[in-house]
Amino acid sequence: MTIKAHAKINTFLKITGHKNGYHTLLSRFVKVPNLYDTISFVPANCERFTIEGCDDVPTESNTIYKVYLAIKEHMNECIINDFFKYHKVVVKKNIPQGAGLGGGSSDAAAFMRLFNEVCKLGIDTPTLAKIGSTVGADIPFFVYDYNAANVSGFGEVVEKFDEEPLDIELYTPNIHCDTALVYKTFKQNLLDKIEPTTFEGWEKLSSKEVLSKIDAVMANDLYKASLIAYPELEKEAKEGWYFSGSGSTFFRINP
């Protein structure tokens, strides 16, 4: 009972507005094939819901635990409670945290998909994604498990995008970027400067086509905000490399 939880990059990420306390966006999410955590259900006698492998994150703050609670609200609670009396969740982490690669969201989505399958909960994918969206904006993309998708709204609109597989190279400096701080910095310094017409039609182009026309700052609106919040990132930037999500990972697409 094991599933892979892949990392993602955002080949582009544009903020489209701000509503009800949250930013809206248009972004291309792309799965990273060779970087993933694993989520396993391992037989064990547990007095409470147990997660191993995320020692630096309290259970109550873990996205896996949060989606577990969200599923409990949706399903028959007895079925869920019984299963996790006799199984623990074991996470093997490979995706760095605070790196703009979606590790926590991917882990939560993989947990949801595995639990839905193993316990035959019968939750369809759109409903599972909707449940996940109540916990984290990136979770729906990982629930659908597409290789690439255009993601919009608050992250809940996920539309599959077919493009050729990308040879993705990553570079993650030893800088932990706090997503909430980066978005707060964007709102305070850059929100009034967004120009939707400058990225009109990007969702119809391949990632390579988009990136061939623009630089890292233009590709990702959160890059500027991250540079303000974490000025040490500027020393890590490399020519021809782009920035994923709220950082701190840089990536490039090899020919």
Supply the CATH number for residue 111's domain. 3.30.230.10
Q: What is the pLDDT of residue 242?
A: 97
Verify that 155 and 179 share a domain, yes or no: no
**Which of 160, 186, 210 finishes a domain?**
160
Q: What is the pLDDT of residue 229?
A: 97
Kindly tell me if the per-residue pLDDT of 80 is higher than 80: no
Kindly tell me if the per-residue pLDDT of 51 is higher than 70: yes
Verify that 89 and 195 share a domain, yes or no: no
Q: What is the pLDDT of residue 249?
A: 96
Long-range Cβ pairs for the range 119-127 (8 Å, 24+): 119/79, 119/80, 119/83, 121/71, 121/75, 121/79, 123/71, 123/74, 123/75, 127/74
Q: Is 138 a catalytic residue?
A: yes
Give yes or no for a contact between 106 and 6, defined as CB atoms under 8 angstroms apart.
yes
Q: How many residues does the chain have?
A: 255
Verify that 120 and 217 share a domain, yes or no: no
Kindly tell me if the per-residue pLDDT of 38 is higher than 80: yes
Verify that 50 and 91 share a domain, yes or no: yes
Q: How many CA atoms lie within 13 A of 32 on its CB side?
A: 28
pLDDT band at 79 (very low <50, low <70, confident <90, very high): low
Give yes or no for a contact between 16 and 40, defined as CB atoms under 8 angstroms apart.
no
- Map tokens 């990308």 to a residue: 166
Verify that 148 and 203 share a domain, yes or no: no
Q: What is the pLDDT of residue 197?
A: 87
Verify that 6 and 127 share a domain, yes or no: yes
Which residues share a beta bridge with 26? 14, 152
Kindly tell me if the per-residue pLDDT of 205 is higher than 70: yes
Verify that 86 and 174 share a domain, yes or no: no
Q: What is the pLDDT of residue 76?
A: 65
What phi-psi label fits residue 230: left (phi over 0), alpha (psi between -120 and 50 degrees) or beta?
Answer: beta
Select which of 8, 14, 31, 66 is catalytic.
8
In this prediction the pTM is 0.93
Verify that 24 and 134 share a domain, yes or no: yes
Q: What is the pLDDT of residue 102?
A: 95
Give yes or no for a contact between 155 and 240, defined as CB atoms under 8 angstroms apart.
no
**Which of 160, 187, 221 finishes a domain?**
160
pLDDT band at 8 (very low <50, low <70, confident <90, very high): very high
Task: Give the start-end residues of each E strand in the chain.
Answer: 2-19, 22-43, 51-52, 87-92, 148-153, 157-160, 167-171, 242-243, 250-254
Give how many domains the chain has, as a whole number. 2
Kindly tell me if the per-residue pLDDT of 247 is higher than 90: no
Q: What is the pLDDT of residue 21?
A: 81
Verify that 224 and 155 share a domain, yes or no: no
pLDDT band at 19 (very low <50, low <70, confident <90, very high): confident
Q: What is the pLDDT of residue 58?
A: 86
Verify that 140 and 25 share a domain, yes or no: yes
Structural domain for 242, as ranges: 167-254
Which residues share a beta bridge with 17? 24
Verify that 182 and 74 share a domain, yes or no: no
Q: What is the mean pLDDT of residues 225-231?
A: 96
**Which of 130, 160, 190 finishes a domain?**
160
Verify that 8 and 119 share a domain, yes or no: yes
Select which of 107, 138, 221, 224 is catalytic.
138
Q: What is the pLDDT of residue 77?
A: 67
